[in-house]
Amino acid sequence: MSIIDTSFAQQLINLISKETGQNAHIFGEEGRIIATSQPERLGTIHSGAKDIMSGKIDFIAITEDMAKEMSGTRPGFSVGIDSKNVRIGAIGISGDPQQMKPIAMIASHVIISEYERNIFMNSIATMANEINESLQESTSGVEEISSATEQQAESVESLNKMIIAAKGNVMETNQIVDLIQKISKQINILGINASIEAARLGNEGRGFSIVASEVRKLAESTGTSVNKIDEMLKRIQENIVTISDSIQDYSVSSKNQTVVVQSLAQELEHITTAVDNFTKLLS
């Protein structure tokens, strides 16, 4: 397989042959003809071009007088085509070597330019493909992060709702504590009244006095317990408020993060599409 684009080479040979009226060939490895104005010779090996391709010689210039003395040889000029000190091919044009030399040299430079352009374009295409693959992987990764961030934001939002509900439950518990405190006060008043009444009855109210005393002790005990519960609930409420505020701040931060990640994912997708379109243009 030739490293020179055979389609381009054939177009160039057709142009040279048309403008000069001479036969022209471009040679590849081992001097094999890869483009020619003589289709019947395509794929055959030219001995002179084989020597040029092997590096034995750099060019061949055969005059009409020389051709008369050499069996099966025609006048013409052939020269190696080098790109960055590497021989990639050769070109030969029949006719007066003095007249054909500049045409062959110009054609060789055209071939070199096209060859190096193809290498450059292939490198760009390879690079674009690698960038595209990296971008697609990055896009997938960002999409996963975006999905996880969305789920995280939803989880934080759900947790925030639970905290708000817990805060509401604590407030309702405070109402129950208030009610118990009121009942405790009423029991205490009832115990005091009972003690007064027992004292008024004297000996007959002694049993009643014991009951009244126990009622007052119950009221005091209940009040003490309720106060402790109230203090605990206040501390719980303060903690819940602190947690709620922190979660709300984090919820806002998570939402902002989600927006940023989603925006980044969209931008990466746009860049990936652009690189993909660029890659298709190169192919």
Give the Cα separation of 91 and 111 in Å (integer). 10
Determine the Cα–Cα distance for residues 254 and 259; give it in Å rounded to an integer. 9
Is the model's pLDDT at 208 over the cut of 60? no
CA quadruple 80, 81, 87, 90: dihedral positive or negative?
negative
Are 275 and 190 found together in one domain?
A: yes
Which CATH number covers residue 168? 1.10.287.950
Residues across the chain: 283
Instruction: Tell me, yes or no, whether 261 lies in a domain.
Output: yes
Is residue 109 in a domain? no
Pair (164, 263) in one structural domain: yes
Answer yes or no: is pLDDT of 75 > 80. Answer: yes
User: pLDDT tens across 113-163, in order?
Assistant: 999 998 888 888 787 777 777 667 766 666 666 666 666 667 667 766 766
Residues 186 and 253 reside in one and the same domain = yes
Instruction: Please give the angle made by the CA atoms of 64, 70 and 74, to the nearest 5 degrees.
Output: 45
The answer on 262 and 171 residing in a single domain is yes
Query: Considering 95, 110, 126, which residue would you say is the last residue of a domain?
Result: 95
Residue 124 lies in a domain: no
Q: Is residue 123 part of a domain?
A: no
**Alpha carbon distance, N-terminus to C-terminus of the chain:** 20
Distance from C-alpha of 54 to C-alpha of 58, rounded to nearest angstrom: 9
CA distance 106 to 98: 14
Mean pLDDT of 13-39: 96
Q: CA nearest 173: which of 240, 227, 229, 235?
A: 229
Q: Helix or strand or coil: residue 110?
A: helix
**Do 166 and 265 fall into the same domain?**
yes
Domain assignment of residue 100, yes or no? no
Residue 63 sits in which domain range?
Answer: 6-95
**What is the rounded CA–CA span in Å between residue 187 and residue 5?**
107
Query: Is residue 30, in this structure, part of any structural domain at all?
Result: yes
Domain-located, residue 113: no
What's the rounded Cα separation, in Å, for the pair 259 and 107?
A: 58
Question: Are both 158 and 29 inside the same structural domain?
Answer: no
* Shared domain check, 158 and 34: no
pLDDT band at 19 (very low <50, low <70, confident <90, very high): very high
Do 149 and 267 sit in the same domain of this protein?
yes
Structure confidence at residue 251 (pLDDT): 62
Tell me, yes or no, whether 192 lies in a domain.
yes
Report the side by side order of strands in the sheet with 24-27: 33-36, 24-27, 86-94, 76-83, 59-62
Q: Which amino acid is at 125?
A: A
Count of the separate structural domains present in the chain: 2
pTM of the model: 0.57
Mean pLDDT, the chain, as a whole number?
Answer: 78
Mean pLDDT of the region 217-225 = 66
Looking at residue 52, which CATH number applies to its domain?
Answer: 3.30.450.20
pLDDT at 95 over 90: yes
> Torsions phi, psi of 37, nearest 5?
-85, -5
